[in-house]
Amino acid sequence: MTTAQLNHGFRMDRRIDMIISATLAVIALAIGAWGVFQVLIMGDHGALTSYVPWGLWVGVYVYLVWLEVGTMLAYTALRYGLKVEGLEKLGPVVALAALAALSGALFIIGMDLGHPFRFWKAYLQPNFGSLMTWMIWLHTIYLLILVGELIAYRQGKDGLAKNLTFIGAPVGIALIGVIGGLFGVIAARPYWNASVLPLMFFVSSLVAGIGLLILLHLLFSPAAGTAQYATTARELARIFMIGIVVGLLAAGANALVIAYPGVPAHSEGLRLVLFGPYWWTIWIVHLLFGVLVPLALLIWNRRSLLNIGIAAALMVWTFVMVPLNIVIPGLAYPTPELEGLKRAAVHHRLSFDYFPTTTEWLVVIFAIGLALTLFTVGYKFVLEPYQKRLFASSTTSGEQLTGGDA
């Protein structure tokens, strides 16, 4: 085995990747900074109204939480439960990606709060009868666990990192359940008010997490270039296909339960999703490009790593429409007993019509830049030392790396 083979297999040189990531992060932060200024200094909360107080930011927050928890859960289940080979050295990459998504999620939900600088009250004056308090505390614990994992990987304490991964799994499940429950217990919003919603959030999180896990494996696996690298990608793609189908069936069954009784208070939100002004977000963006096209690519040629990567990227990118189509339609109509609210008073803040403003999009862009920055810095100071240790260990043991086909 030559040094060139090892360098190829472990992909030690990440300078170009880091330059691209850092450049995109700086651009996103620069563009989004104006939106953050508008929120914090000017008090601009976009198109949110008294009737639609949760919009783009809450939807993206839920999406990022699904990614941060789902990716770690998928990694834990597939590596330690199903024993999928080839994921052994991907742990720190997954933990770093989850931490990056978490940072974006916390930033966005902070911007959504009317008084974000009062967050400390949730710690010093907690109300544990509130699901919001549990959400904040669980998020904090999850954050500390991810940071602990990365420190453990950085210091070569892989055993400690593994234990923290196991501890983080039930915390992540609880976090998803609490966020789903936060919507599901709101009796005044019939479109949300269902005991199945926490389970839906868990399934959605896991499906999105498998998609992101595939991308992380394809882009950042230390074993890139080996035969096992391609084999692992194809096994993940097979599981991914099953996850997409299961998620689609679960969503269809839930929609049928909502629509079949024909109760207006429940079915109006679903009607807005399927046939409202933004019908294209579910039919075209999510179902076509996020479900049907990825399935077609994987069915057509699941051995192609390019097909697998495109399918995973499309699904992960378009999956943001799922929480958006849960959050916004649940608020964008008055319940039958309050139908008169539409005509009771006329004001731009007393409207059920909602579409995100430029300020809201800019804040999301800033959050993406923040996540990219954290991932880039983490890769430099955590993952590179970890992979160099792998490289040195493999050189000493004479591990044989063979090229894999694409």
What's the pLDDT tens digit per position in 84-104?
998 988 999 999 999 999 999
Residue 335: what pLDDT? 66
Domain that holds residue 263: 51-390
Residue 5: what pLDDT? 40
What are all long-range contacts of 141-147, with beta carbons under 8 Å and residues at least 24 apart? Answer: 141/171, 142/68, 142/69, 142/102, 142/168, 142/171, 142/172, 142/175, 143/99, 143/102, 143/106, 145/171, 146/72, 146/95, 146/98, 146/99, 146/102, 147/99
DSSP 318-359: HTTHHHHHHHTTTTSS--GGGTTHHHH---TTS-S-----HH
Q: Is residue 359 part of a domain?
A: yes
CA 93 → CA 122, 163, 342, 374, 384, distances in Å?
Answer: 31, 16, 49, 12, 10
Q: Is residue 11 part of a domain?
A: no
pLDDT band at residue 148 under the 50/70/90 scheme: very high
Q: Is residue 19 part of a domain?
A: no
Task: Please provide residue 302's backbone torsions phi and psi, each rounded to the nearest 5 degrees.
Answer: -80, -10
Q: Please give the average per-residue pLDDT across 269-273, as a whole number.
A: 84
Q: Is residue 245 part of a domain?
A: yes
pLDDT band at residue 3 under the 50/70/90 scheme: very low
Q: Is residue 44 part of a domain?
A: no
CA-angle at 365, arms to 359 and 366, nearest 5°: 90
Q: Is residue 179 part of a domain?
A: yes
Residue 365: what pLDDT? 96
DSSP 222-242: TTTTBHHHHHHHHHHHHHHHH
Q: Is residue 30 part of a domain?
A: no
The total of other beta-carbon atoms located within 10 Å of residue 99's CB is: 24
Q: How many domains does the chain have?
A: 1
Beta bridge partners of 226: 403
The total of other beta-carbon atoms located within 10 Å of residue 207's CB is: 25
Q: Percent of the chain beyond pLDDT 90?
A: 50
Torsion of CA 230, 232, 234, 239, to 10 degrees: -170
Average pLDDT value over all residues in the chain: 86
What's the pLDDT tens digit per position in 169-180?
999 999 999 999
What's the pLDDT tens digit per position in 305-333?
999 999 999 999 999 999 998 888 888 77
The domain that holds 150 is classified in CATH as 1.20.1630.10
Q: Is residue 403 part of a domain?
A: no
